[in-house]
Amino acid sequence: METYRLQPHPGHPPRAVSGVDARIIGRDDNWLRLRWRIEGSGELVVPKFAGKGRADGLWQTTCFELFLRPDGGTAYCEFNLSPSERWNAYDFAAHREGMAERPIPREPVCTMRMGSSFAIFDAALPAAALPDTDCAMGLTCVIEEAGGHKSFWALEHRGEQPDFHDPACFTARLAAPSGA
């Protein structure tokens, strides 16, 4: 599957992180599996283990996100995934409008692995939680480094401030499941 090179927002550059790649590593009838690879992770702040469960505000530290907007509309969904194993999912009617908690039939699986100069975050989302049609896709992350320094990574940025909800960030594609 295709690997996407994420770009840091120019107004919030990283310190030590030199690159972030994201990709879908697998999809079947039960799960969509994603991976983010962070290069230059020596100063990466990893949230402490908190156990599975919904939580708000995950983006305030290192967090990985998936946005899906079904073709032909303005509604989209957002999945927030943390190395702490906390997660959340939201539906939006349009750009930052009409936010509601998205029902998830089973909890996502989140796993963080640290290497000497890189980190890998893997997530598995239940397939039943995803739209069953072709979607525009945004892969993003917030990276916190030592001292509270944050950088904001997306496929593309517009505007002076980071906004992962901007439709310009949804430049990748996720095809409908093969059986849909």
Terminal-to-terminal C-alpha distance of the chain: 20
Q: Residue ranges of the domains in the chain? A: 3-172
pLDDT at 149: 97
pTM of structure: 0.96
Find out whether 75 and 92 touch, Cβ atoms under 8 Å. yes
Q: What's the mean per-residue pLDDT of the chain?
A: 96
For residues 135-148, give the mean pLDDT: 98
Q: Is residue 156 predicted with pLDDT exceeding 60? A: yes
How far, in Å, are 19, 21, 151 from residue 8 at the CA level?
A: 8, 11, 6
Q: What is the pLDDT of residues 1-29, one digit of tens each?
A: 789 999 999 999 999 999 999 999 999 99
User: With respect to CATH, is domain 3-172 assigned 3.40.50.170?
Assistant: no
Confidence of residue 178 (pLDDT cuts 50, 70, 90): confident
Structure-derived torsion over alpha carbons of residues 20, 65, 77, 110, reported in degrees to the nearest 10: 130
CA nearest to 11, candidates 152, 155, 146: 152
Asked if residue 180 has pLDDT above 60, the reply is no
pLDDT digits 0-9 by tens, 61-117: 999 999 999 999 999 999 999 999 999 999 999 999 999 999 999 999 999 999 989
CA distance 110 to 85: 5
Residue 123 has pLDDT above 80, yes or no: yes
Model confidence at 174, pLDDT cuts 50, 70, 90, reads: very high
Do 20 and 34 touch, CB atoms closer than 8 A? no
Q: Which of 124, 80, 134 is nearest to 102 (CA)?
A: 80
- Give pLDDT, residue 155: 97
User: Hey, is 169 helix, strand or coil?
Assistant: helix
CA neighbours closer than 13 Å in the CB half-sphere of residue 70: 12
